[in-house]
Amino acid sequence: MTRMPGPPSFDGLKKRIASQRQAKAGTDGGHFVRESFCLTRDEARAKAREWFDSFPKAAYWTEVESWRQLEGDRIEFTMRRLPSAD
């Protein structure tokens, strides 16, 4: 009984796809400008307000992308916006 050969290996293709995705992710960061902060609660509110005042949500899609509360009433958060308003 003769054994049929298996499908070709896709390892080379997988490596090329992964390297292209990594290269692209490093260049544009997903089209958003992100900046992370670790501030006290009052400072965090002021910084977020500053971003929303400088980069209005309607034009720049500004938002608090993620946040978490740390010990000592500190807030770690990431702000996100488009690089320019078109």
Residues above pLDDT 90, as percent of the chain: 58
pLDDT in tens, 37-67: 999 999 999 999 999 999 999 999 999 999 9
CATH fold for domain 33-86: Defensin A-like (3.30.30)
Q: Of 25-29, 32-36, 46-50, 59-63, which gets the smallest average pLDDT? A: 25-29
User: Does 9 score more than 80 pLDDT?
Assistant: no
What is the per-residue pLDDT for 19?
74
Whether pTM exceeds 0.85:
no
Sign of CA dihedral 19, 23, 24, 29: positive
Q: Which residues pair with 35 in a beta bridge?
A: 79
Strand extents, DSSP E, 1-86: 33-40, 63-70, 74-81
